């Protein structure tokens, strides 16, 4: 079988993490290989390509997308550029693994997902955490009744204010920056994983960067789950004052106890605690979540190429449910509704507006600096 040949767009730290994992995986999955790296400059591309034996480097994204040597494209560009380059890759007949957030809004997501399906191509969001075995272990722990009947779910991801320095794509409204676009895939995703279905946003508030009202620096709110009395809440921030509060934390409260999951965005170092019982990522896998994601993507792409089932039992696993197909549309719709409820306008350079929520003028206040 010819290896599935990957080409990457973007040379950020996340590209390095994903591709060095992929390079290590070539022994286990010889049917997958990174062959090309494109960066804003040739220097940046060569730096990453040097980590992957045999890969060629270029400063042209288009050269990678259109190359007959590339079967699948990994997109690690700023959020606002995902739509343009994902659609170009799909038109060129390439499978696409795109970093989160897949799209600026639900309409961009719908067009990408439906076009990929029409071409029998895989479109996967880079929600690597969802593919790690610690995630189904979380579901099993809760289902076992370890904390009794679930009553509340709180998901949060907070950055200390000194971490980003108000710079980069996260602070560029023209590139689809903002805290929810950066962290929402994780925070909303954990609510769905524990709640068992995508929730409905019932309330949201937020504040924006004083220099750009399209950049949300904080966003939080509440959600409900259809047919359930469970209450969900969420919070995201770029500007936490206390370093001890920074990081990702899931808290699930039940009738007989509480579960905490620290660093859920990176399960290879994540820890689930219930009372005195601890389950950690390293206990379940020696591989990082990026490696598990690449295996899932490669498996789905090969299945699409041969019209076979992507999994042994004929159905998708939890990671696939979270990062492909309808799951992507549900996530994008939830992000739309949270933004709208908080009075934050979020439209990327494609100019495509949300399909589920009418465009609204920004009315969220500017975040205060203390």
Tens-place pLDDT, residues 279-315: 999 999 989 999 999 989 999 998 998 876 555 445 6
Identify the structural domains of the chain with CATH numbers, from first to last: 4-126 (3.40.50.720), 130-287+328-342 (3.30.360.10)
Q: List, for residues 30-66, the tens digit of each pLDDT value.
A: 778 899 999 999 999 999 999 988 999 999 999 999 9
| Full DSSP string of 121-185 | --EEE--GGGGSTHHHHHHHHHHTTTT-SEEEEEEEEEEETTTTTT-SGGG-GGGT-SHHHHHHH
Q: Check: CB of residue 110 under 8 Å from CB of residue 331.
A: no
- Mean predicted confidence (pLDDT) in 129-153: 97
Distance from CA of residue 95 to its chain's centroid? 17
Determine the pLDDT at residue 358.
Answer: 56
Q: Check: CB of residue 131 under 8 Å from CB of residue 289.
A: yes
The candidate with the shortest Cα–Cα distance to 252, out of 235, 267, 274, 271, is 274
Between 2 and 324, residue with greater pLDDT? 324
Determine the pLDDT at residue 219.
Answer: 97
Q: In whole numbers, what is the pLDDT of the chain averaged over residues?
A: 92
- DSSP class of 324: B
Determine the pLDDT at residue 305.
Answer: 83
């Amino acid at each position: 079988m010819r290896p599935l040949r990957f080409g990457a767009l973007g040379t950020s730290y996340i590209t390095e993490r994903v591709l060095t994992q992929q390079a290590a995986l070539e022994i286990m999955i010889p049917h997958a290989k990174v062959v090309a790296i494109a960066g804003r400059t040739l220097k940046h591309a060569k730096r990453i390509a040097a980590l992957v034996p045999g890969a060629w480097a270029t400063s042209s994204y288009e050269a990678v997308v259109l190359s007959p040597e590339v079967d699948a494209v990994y997109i690690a560009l700023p959020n606002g550029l995902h739509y343009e380059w994902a659609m170009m890759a799909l038109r060129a007949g390439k499978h696409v693994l795109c970093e989160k957030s897949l799209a600026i809004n639900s309409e961009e997501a719908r067009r990408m997902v439906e076009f990929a399906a029409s071409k029998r191509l895989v479109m996967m969001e880079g929600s690597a955490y969802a593919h790690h075995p610690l995630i189904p272990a979380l579901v099993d722990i809760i289902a076992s009744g370890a904390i009794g009947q679930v009553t509340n779910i709180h998901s949060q991801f907070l950055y200390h204010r000194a971490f980003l320095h108000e710079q980069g794509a996260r602070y560029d409204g023209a590139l689809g920056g903002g805290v929810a676009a950066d962290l929402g895939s994780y925070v909303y995703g954990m609510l769905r994983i524990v709640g068992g279905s995508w929730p409905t946003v019932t309330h949201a508030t937020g504040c924006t960067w004083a220099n750009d009202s399209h950049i949300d620096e904080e966003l939080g709110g509440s959600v409900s789950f259809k047919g359930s009395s469970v209450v969900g809440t969420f919070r995201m921030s770029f500007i936490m004052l206390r370093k001890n509060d920074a990081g990702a934390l899931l808290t699930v409260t039940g009738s007989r106890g509480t579960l905490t999951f620290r660093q859920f965005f990176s399960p290879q170092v994540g820890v689930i605690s219930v009372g005195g019982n601890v389950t950690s990522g390293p206990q379940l896998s020696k591989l990082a979540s990026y490696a598990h994601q690449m295996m899932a993507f490669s498996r789905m792409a090969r299945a699409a190429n041969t019209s076979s089932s992507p999994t042994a039992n004929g159905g998708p696993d939890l990671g696939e449910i979270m990062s492909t197909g309808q799951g992507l549309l549900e996530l994008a719709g939830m992000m739309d509704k949270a933004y709208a409820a908080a009075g934050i306008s979020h439209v990327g350079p494609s100019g495509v507006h949300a399909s589920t929520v009418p465009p609204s003028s920004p009315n969220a206040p500017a975040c205060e600096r203390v």
